[in-house]
């Protein structure tokens, strides 16, 4: 009977949505009885090339006691029980051969079948363009000889029938978890890794220990993209996200397409990005606003390119509850999001996403009539056929009433009636290897599925076209040696092709129409993320982040003025994750925080049209997808911008920032707020006041090194730690003495904002705000001043030499007193038999907000309002330091290694 059924599976064509009884019977029994057909002529419906696949034993559980299901947020997760297999061709009759078990069998063993192999893990299978090699990630089990195994990249050669670890050195291989490998057209290998090679080198340059930083959820080390030679040498990091960059693939145009987890300012999901294989021209490709689909939160992963150059993408959940899901075809050329066409697709013709194979797959439902996919592999033979791993929809039939305990439930195929019946429950998945032919809309099994065994990944070892060589950006040679790139924003007033400026970009660019100092937007701040080490490297409490952990830790890379037309052109450090914000003339952020990390390679000029609001779904971040720039640039060659200084002579189409860079030199970031008016024509227009707020004027410790104070380079950072840089401002002596040295005034903050006076007697702190450095009684991990600035408190008064909370009598809305009552509503009386009136504390609002300096205007106003008693008590550079600290998140520490260790 089984042999007959196997022959049926080998030759019959099973129509989609219908599973014949013999197939169901075979799936239920789980036997692997295959006729030998190796000597027969090739079947015309099979693929006559080797097929490699990953097969998993579902009875093996991982350290979390979970079988097979992978957590997308943990790319280095170990899910043991898989192995790599190969068939000589895609046919049920072709023998399956285990390739990876041989890695764990000593060469001198006489009987390899007698060796007991501990479960290991294999994933991320890919093939070379000529079809002769496989590449994949493997993690060995933990043993006494290998107590700390890592994910390593291995290569199998069909020509030699041998497997090798690509990185031969144990020391180099163990430096990180390497996953997701694919071949680049030039033979190098692109992969994702927690080794963070460039990040660690930069940490060393910054004077910090080398370590691999955690992703921004602070759960596991971030895995980002690297490249290496085919022999494992010359490993280079090419992506600098602070969370995971996964599943890279090379598109036909030579671009690297990958899945990026954006968590710069909270979790925004896993979108598709693209860039060149050297890390240049990083752009978002698809999906920023497309994660909620059918009530299910999906992420875009496991991208493959089809022969007709479409993108095949898995719709994945972060923590799926079962194996398998659905795949979609994404039209990234026509759409930037599910319902958002690109500028080249006006009106949105077509669909952004279409289901890959079956239209009745519903991964969000308890039962998916169309089954569930493990992976899809499009064949490159011109037929449009697919090989894929798939589990049909199966249900457990309810037991008849009175069945004995332990009676097994019968597995039956799903139907509309069955899935609507609550008595039926889903059967365990049964993932087999399948073949689909769109020409006659049929599918065939290529393996006999087995219970508790799942076929999870598959590739055909066939030749396919090499991708084209991408057009790489022209680099500026002198910046390469300085490890600098360039950011060019055509106009910050450009929001998805709309002019968001106060009076129109033409007027804003004309100093005779809008004075230079009449613009709200004056400076650009460039910030950098700080990598957070794991507990093995450095252990510290969450209090180190301060009032909020949302921004983790940040450093400021520097400042540059914004030109009148809203354009910016400035050098920035290469190979670091950075973001930008717009500031007013006082250096306070007036734009939303940038919600993703940018990067440039040394010498690269990165151009963008403008800005983007968090709520907007308009295409942004991919030049070919978004609206053209509203900034048309200079109207003539050799002339001047309308109303501007003729000394700033133009080339047609230049932004003001480009003209500035050509005439006066490419601007560099500075730690200071520095502005000089070069645009107003002195013959017709008064020059705008200069701005020069410098750290050199600080009277307290600088948040920059002495070397950087002399020469600001790509390695310089503004690092603000509250105890080192903010608290000293409150303690700085601000006294005025007469000629005899007698004290006239004392504006030192802590002289009044303290709970003791000069004689040591208890007092109410001025303004109910204490700014002393003593450990807070509410949180001993931070200073009292920090706690008082960011947390609400109760107003206090001095009663018999003791500070106590002020209690006010409570009255109802009619002005009548409210009395204390018991649980039955009866009045509670004092010892004299009188009712007790209810009292309440008087709340004191916090003075600062972690949302930024503008949100903390209650603090700054008293120093800038001429009618305030504190007018000008804080100097501009002190206010600038406090403002930039608030804008990056008001962290208690912005350097984990500045935290005192117990």
Domain boundaries in the chain?
Answer: 2-460, 473-522+562-693, 724-898
Q: What pLDDT was estimated at residue 30? A: 33
Of the two residues 7 and 754, the one the predictor is more confident about is: 754
Q: What pairs with residue 138 in β-bridges?
A: 122, 152
Q: pLDDT band for position 23 (50/70/90)?
A: very low
Distance CA(59)–CA(77), nearest Å, equals 17
| 433: CB partners within 8 A, 6+ apart | 51, 53, 387, 388, 389, 445, 446, 447, 455, 458
Could you give the CA distance from residue 802 to residue 727 in angstroms, rounded to a whole number?
26
pLDDT at 242: 96
Mean pLDDT (whole number) for 72-78: 95
What is the mean pLDDT of the segment spanning 625-629? 93
Q: Would you say residue 483 has pLDDT above 60?
A: yes
Of 516, 496, 524, the closest CA to residue 565 belongs to: 516
What integer pLDDT is reported at residue 63 of this predicted model? Answer: 57
CB neighbours of residue 828 within 10 Å: 11
Which residues lie below 8 Å from residue 148, measured CB to CB, with a gap of 6+?
142, 174
Radius of gyration of the chain from its Cα atoms, rounded to whole angstroms: 33
* pLDDT attached to residue 280: 97
Q: What is the dihedral of CA 560, 564, 567, 569, to 10 degrees?
A: -40
**What confidence tens digit (pLDDT) does each residue in 762-793 have?**
999 999 999 999 999 999 999 999 999 999 99
Taking the C-alpha atoms of residue 57 and residue 119, their distance in angstroms, rounded to an integer, is: 9
Which pLDDT does position 319 carry in this prediction?
A: 86
pLDDT at 6 exceeding the cut of 50: no
pLDDT of residue 14: 38
Q: What is the mean pLDDT of residues 824-836?
A: 91
User: Which residues are registered as beta bridge partners of 775?
Assistant: 783
- Residue 708 in contact with residue 719, Cβ under 8 Å? no
Over range 504-531, report the average pLDDT.
Answer: 96
Predicted pLDDT of residue 516: 93
Distance CA 128, CA 246 (A): 19
The DSSP result for 49-116, as a single string, is S-EEEEEEETT---TTS--SPPPTT-TT-----EEEEEESSBSTTSPPEESGGGGGS-TT-S-GGG--
Q: What is the DSSP letter of 160?
A: T
Using alpha carbons only, give the angle 723, 724, 726 rounded to the nearest 5 degrees.
Answer: 70
Which residue, 156, 174, 155, is CA-closest to 212?
Answer: 174
φ, ψ for residue 853 (rounded to 5)? -70, -40
Write out the DSSP string of 329-376.
EE-TTTEEETTEE-TTSTT--S-SEEESS-TT--TTSSS-TT-EEEEE
Pair 618, 340: CB distance under 8 Å? yes
Tokens of 340: 């958002």
Residue 660 has pLDDT above 90, yes or no: yes
Q: Which residues pair with 47 in a beta bridge?
A: 90
Q: How confident is the model at residue 115 (pLDDT cuts 50, 70, 90)?
A: confident
Q: Which residues, other chains included, contact 867 with Cβ-Cβ below 8 Å and sequence gap of 6+?
A: none
Task: Give the residue carrying structure tokens 């039926």.
Answer: 424
Per-residue pLDDT band for 26 (boundaries 50, 70, 90) equals very low
Place of tokens 């509850």: 321
What's the helix, strand, coil split of the chain in %, to 5? 15, 30, 60
**Cα 818 to the chain's mean position, in Å?**
53
pLDDT band, residue 16 (cuts 50/70/90): very low
What confidence score (pLDDT) does residue 761 get?
A: 92
**Rounded CA gap, 715 and 426, in Å?**
57
CA dist 348 and 340 (Å) reads: 7
Q: Dig out the tokens for 760 from the structure.
A: 């040591």
What digits encode the pLDDT tens for the residues 117-146?
999 999 999 999 999 999 999 999 998 889
Least confident window among 149-163, 431-445, 516-530, 560-574: 431-445
Would you say residue 672 has pLDDT above 50? yes
Angstrom distance (rounded) from CA 444 to CA 435: 5
Cβ–Cβ < 8 Å for 446, 433: yes
| Contact between residue 511 and residue 679 where contact means Cβ atoms under 8 Å apart | yes
Rounded CA gap, 275 and 284, in Å?
Answer: 9
Predicted pLDDT of residue 46: 58
Tell which wins on pLDDT, 66 or 871.
871
What is the percentage of the chain residues whose pLDDT exceeds 90?
Answer: 83
Return d(Cα 888, Cα 853) in angstroms, integer: 9
Per-residue CA distances from 788 to 544, 762, 780, 797, 863 (Å): 16, 18, 13, 16, 19
In 3D, which of 263, 233, 260, 230 has the Cα closest to residue 244?
260
> What is the overall mean pLDDT for the chain?
91
Task: Indicate whether 3 pLDDT > 80.
Answer: no
Mean pLDDT on 441-453: 90
Residue 7 confidence (pLDDT)? 33
CATH architecture, range 2-460:
6 Propeller (2.120)
Q: Please tell me the total number of residues recorded for the chain in this structure.
A: 902
- Which residues are CB-neighbours of 499 under 8 A, at least 6 positions away? 493, 505, 630
The more confident residue out of 91 and 695 is 695
Q: Say whether 543 sits in a helix, a strand or coil.
A: helix
The Cα 472–Cα 470 span in angstroms is 6
Q: Give the pLDDT confidence score for residue 320 in this predicted structure.
A: 87
φ, ψ of residue 98 to 5 degrees: the values are -75, 125
The maximal CA–CA distance of the chain, rounded, in angstroms, is: 114
- Cα separation of 311 and 301, whole Å? 11
CB 101 within 8 A of CB 113: no
Is the distance from CB of 271 to CB of 322 less than 8 angstroms? no
d(CA 594, CA 557): 15
* pLDDT reported for residue 891: 98
Minimum mean pLDDT range among 215-219, 551-555, 750-754, 822-826: 822-826
């Amino acid at each position: 009977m089984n042999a007959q059924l196997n022959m049926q599976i080998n030759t019959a064509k099973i129509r989609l949505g219908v599973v014949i009884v013999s197939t169901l019977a075979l799936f239920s029994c789980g036997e692997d009885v295959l006729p030998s057909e190796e000597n027969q002529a090739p079947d015309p419906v099979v693929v006559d090339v080797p097929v490699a696949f990953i097969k998993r034993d579902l009875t093996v559980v991982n350290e979390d006691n979970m079988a097979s299901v992978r957590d997308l947020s943990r790319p280095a997760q170990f899910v043991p029980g898989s192995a790599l297999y190969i068939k000589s061709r895609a046919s049920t009759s072709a023998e399956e051969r285990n390739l990876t078990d041989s890695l764990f069998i000593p060469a001198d063993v006489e009987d390899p079948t007698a060796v007991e192999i501990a479960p290991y893990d294999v994933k991320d299978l890919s093939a070379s363009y000529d079809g002769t090699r496989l590449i994949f990630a493997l993690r060995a089990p933990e043993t006494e000889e290998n107590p700390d195994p890592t994910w390593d990249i291995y290569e199998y050669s069909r020509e030699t029938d041998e497997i090798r670890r690509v990185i031969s050195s144990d020391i180099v291989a163990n430096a990180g978890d390497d996953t997701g490998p694919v071949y680049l057209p030039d033979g190098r290998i692109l992969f994702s890794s927690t080794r963070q090679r460039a990040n660690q080198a930069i940490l060393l340059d910054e004077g910090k220990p080398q370590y691999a930083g955690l992703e921004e959820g602070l759960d596991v080390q971030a895995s980002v993209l690297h490249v290496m030679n085919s022999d494992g040498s010359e490993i280079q990091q090419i992506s600098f996200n602070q969370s995971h960059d996964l599943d890279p693939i090379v598109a036909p145009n030579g671009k690297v397409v990958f899945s990026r987890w954006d968590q710069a300012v909270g979790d925004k999901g896993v979108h598709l990005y693209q860039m060149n294989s050297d890390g240049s021209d990083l752009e978002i490709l698809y999906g920023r606003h497309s994660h909620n689909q059918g009530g299910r939160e999906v992420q875009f992963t496991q991208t493959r390119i089809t022969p007709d150059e479409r993108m095949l993408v898995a719709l994945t959940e972060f923590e799926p509850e079962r194996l398998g899901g659905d795949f979609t075809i994404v039209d990234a050329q026509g759409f930037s999001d599910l319902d958002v066409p690109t500028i080249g697709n006006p009106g949105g013709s077509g669909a952004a996403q279409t289901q890959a194979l079956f239209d009745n797959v519903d991964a969000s439902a308890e039962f998916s009539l169309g089954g569930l996919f493990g992976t899809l592999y499009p064949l490159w033979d011109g037929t449009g056929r697919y090989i894929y791993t798939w589990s049909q929809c199966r249900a457990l039939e309810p037991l008849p009433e009175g069945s004995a305990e332990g009676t097994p439930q019968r597995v039956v195929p799903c139907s509309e009636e069955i899935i609507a019946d609550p008595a039926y429950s889903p059967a365990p998945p049964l993932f087999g290897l399948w073949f689909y032919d769109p020409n006659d809309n049929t599918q065939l099994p290529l393996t006999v599925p087995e219970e508790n065994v799942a076929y999870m990944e598959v590739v055909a070892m066939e030749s396919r076209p090499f991708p084209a060589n991408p057009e790489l950006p022209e680099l500026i040679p002198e910046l390469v040696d300085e490890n600098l790139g360039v950011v060019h924003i055509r106009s910050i007033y450009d929001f998805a092709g709309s002019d968001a400026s106060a009076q129109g970009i033409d007027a804003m660019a004309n100093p005779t129409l809008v004075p230079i100092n009449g613009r709200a937007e004056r400076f650009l701040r460039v910030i950098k993320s700080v990598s957070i080490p794991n507990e093995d490297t450095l252990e510290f409490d969450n209090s180190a982040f301060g009032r909020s952990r949302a921004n983790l830790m940040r450093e400021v890379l520097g400042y540059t003025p914004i030109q009148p037309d809203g354009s910016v052109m400035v050098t920035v450090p290469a190979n670091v994750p950075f973001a930008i914000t717009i500031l007013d003339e006082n250096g306070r952020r007036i734009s939303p925080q940038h919600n993703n990390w940018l990067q440039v390679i040394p010498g690269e000029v990165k151009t963008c049209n403008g800005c983007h609001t968090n709520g907007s779904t308009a295409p942004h971040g991919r030049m070919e997808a978004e609206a053209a720039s509203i900034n048309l640039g200079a109207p003539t060659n050799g002339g001047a911008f309308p109303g501007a200084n003729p000394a700033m002579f133009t080339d047609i189409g230049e932004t003001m920032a480009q003209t500035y860079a050509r005439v006066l030199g490419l601007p560099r970031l500075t730690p200071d707020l520095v502005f000089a008016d070069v645009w107003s024509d002195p013959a017709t227009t008064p020059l705008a006041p200069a701005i020069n707020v410098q750290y050199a004027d600080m009277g307290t410790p600088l948040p920059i090194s002495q070397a950087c104070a002399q020469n600001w380079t790509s390695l310089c950072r503004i690092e603000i730690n509250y105890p080192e840089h903010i608290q000293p401002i409150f303690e700085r002596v601000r006294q005025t003495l007469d000629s005899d040295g007698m004290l006239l005034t004392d504006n030192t903050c802590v002289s009044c904002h303290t709970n003791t006076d000069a004689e040591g007697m208890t007092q109410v702190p001025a303004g109910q705000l204490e700014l002393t450095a003593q450990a807070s009684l509410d949180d001993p991990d931070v200073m009292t001043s920090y706690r008082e600035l960011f947390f609400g408190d109760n107003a206090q008064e001095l009663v018999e030499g003791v500070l106590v909370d002020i209690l006010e009598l409570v009255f109802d809305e009619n002005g009548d007193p409210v009395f204390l009552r018991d649980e039955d509503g009866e009045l509670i009386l004092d010892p004299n038999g009188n009712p007790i009136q209810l009292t309440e504390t008087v709340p004191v609002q916090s003075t600062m907000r972690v949302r930024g300096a503008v949100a903390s205007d209650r603090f700054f106003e008293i120093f800038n309002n001429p009618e305030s008693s504190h007018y000008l008590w804080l100097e501009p550079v002190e206010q600038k330091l406090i403002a930039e600290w608030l804008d990056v998140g008001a962290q208690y520490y912005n350097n984990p290694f500045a935290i005192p260790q117990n």
